[in-house]
Amino acid sequence: MKNTAYTQKHIDLGAKMVPFAGYNMPLEYIGIKAEHLAVRESVGVFDVSHMGEFYVKGPNALKFLQYVTSNDVAALFPGKVQYSCLPNGKGGIVDDLLVYCIDTENYMLVPNAANIEKDYTHLLKYAKQFGLEEGKDFINVSDQISQLAVQGPNAMKVMQRLCKEQIEDMEYYTFKVLEVAGIPNVILSTTGYTGAGGCEVYVDNANAVKLWDAVFEAGKPENIMATGLGCRDTLRLEMGFCLYGNDIDDNHSPLEANLAWITKFSDEKGDFLDKDYMLNQKANGLERRLCGFILLDRGVPRHGYEICNAQGEKIGEVTSGAITPCVEKPFGMGYVKAPLYKADTEIYIKVRDKLLKAVVVKVPFFKK
């Protein structure tokens, strides 16, 4: 099992450590509820160094990325970040990821921790077709970079104390390469997985601990808190953000995963993996789609629970579900057959042979 540059920090803080994506990671420190509220109300810090980082370079980088991702990479400009996914060529999704545009011939991809090797193998196959050389034009630097997600309404205020350059006015999904806490060439991006605002900060491993110490010192007035994977999951679920392996996978297309907004069919985008497959889905209508729901009866929806109609017939399956500090009723997401995935439709969640009433709703579940 791998450690991050921050593993000893987590242990020293008394974190409950668990294996995740091949890493020894903190699940929680003082409790998921307290950490969840710290992020929603002030500022929390996640160690997300287990995430991957790939560099894509050269004159064919854009053509390659246009083909292997669902979104329109040509819409990016230097300093802009894009959420996208990797169609698998068989109607499903290899992974969802972030695409950073450094310039028109240099990009950074940030895939999920559990999929680093899978994504690399998948992308390398197509990289060679576009003339990208492994280790030169397509490079896996995941083991060289540490990453902190500083999240919450006070996150940028805290980080501004460590930056000479103005960052509090940065637009959502943009990034800067700058000096942070005296560390040069740090990537600071206004992205995150919580919906609470803040940034994600990329630094070389040698300076990781220095960054951690500086962030926590700067955040003392805001009662900054170390936060673990437990509340990272509840926070993302409140916003209706997908988790790979639960809500998106190799068996569902981006359109079925309710990711039509990152799936572009324009002339500028051109051809890409599974384009024809998804155009056919779009023309003929989806047989199933990921949707959000609120449970009206008492109970907790869990991953894998059946979703049924009023007659008790299975129409889908729960992919994620929880009760969280900021949403009053149990809620979740799941794939539901057409046309029952439409908002305000009454559905049922099967919990221990009981059908619990629920209603389909639009996400996010948490409204600021």
Domain boundary among 140, 165, 193: 140
- What pLDDT does 103 receive? 97
Residue 339 lies in a domain: yes
Domain boundary among 89, 117, 140: 140
pTM score, two decimals? 0.97
Q: What is the CATH number of the domain that holds 232?
A: 3.30.1360.120
Say if residue 47 is in the same domain as residue 59.
Answer: no
What six digits make up the tokens of 306? 């059946």
Q: Nearest-CA neighbor of 174 among 160, 158, 194, 190? A: 190
Range of the domain at 311: 287-361
365/331 Cα distance (integer angstroms): 8
Say if residue 156 is in the same domain as residue 31.
Answer: yes
Per-residue tens of pLDDT for the chain, all 368 residues = 999 999 999 999 999 999 999 999 999 999 999 999 999 999 999 999 999 999 999 999 999 999 999 999 999 999 999 999 999 999 999 999 999 999 999 999 999 999 999 999 999 999 999 999 999 999 999 999 999 999 999 999 999 999 999 999 999 999 999 999 999 999 999 999 999 999 999 999 999 999 999 999 999 999 999 999 999 999 999 999 999 999 999 999 999 999 999 999 999 899 999 999 999 999 999 999 999 999 999 999 999 999 999 999 999 999 999 999 999 899 999 999 999 999 999 999 999 889 999 999 999 999 87
Residue 281 lies in a domain: no
Say if residue 110 is in the same domain as residue 42.
Answer: no
**DSSP code for 161:** T
251/36 Cα distance (integer angstroms): 31
CA 260 from chain centre, in angstroms, equals: 16
DSSP per residue over 18-81, as a string? EEETTEEEEEESS-HHHHHHHHHHS-EEEE-TTS--EEEESTTHHHHHHHHSSS-GGG--TTEE
Other CB atoms within a 10 A radius of the CB of residue 287 amount to 10
Residue 95 lies in a domain: yes
Say if residue 21 is in the same domain as residue 91.
Answer: no
Residue 16 lies in a domain: yes
Residue 367 lies in a domain: no
Residue 152 lies in a domain: yes
Coil, strand or helix: which one is 144?
A: helix
Domain boundary among 84, 117, 140: 140
Say if residue 121 is in the same domain as residue 185.
Answer: no
Say if residue 221 is in the same domain as residue 327.
Answer: no
Say if residue 48 is in the same domain as residue 149.
Answer: yes
Say if residue 229 is in the same domain as residue 305.
Answer: no
Residue 245 lies in a domain: no
From the number of C-beta atoms within 10 Å of its C-beta (0-12, 13-18, 19+), residue 168 rates as exposed
Q: What is the CATH number of the domain that holds 100?
A: 3.30.70.1400
Say if residue 125 is in the same domain as residue 84.
Answer: yes
Say if residue 219 is in the same domain as residue 81.
Answer: no
Q: What is the CATH number of the domain that holds 324?
A: 2.40.30.110
Residue 317 lies in a domain: yes
- Where helices occur in the chain by DSSP H, the ranges are 7-12, 32-41, 61-68, 116-129, 155-160, 208-218, 229-238, 275-284
275/11 Cα distance (integer angstroms): 46
- What pLDDT does 367 receive? 87
Domain count, the chain: 3
- What pLDDT does 368 receive? 76
Say if residue 343 is in the same domain as residue 357.
Answer: yes
Say if residue 300 is in the same domain as residue 347.
Answer: yes
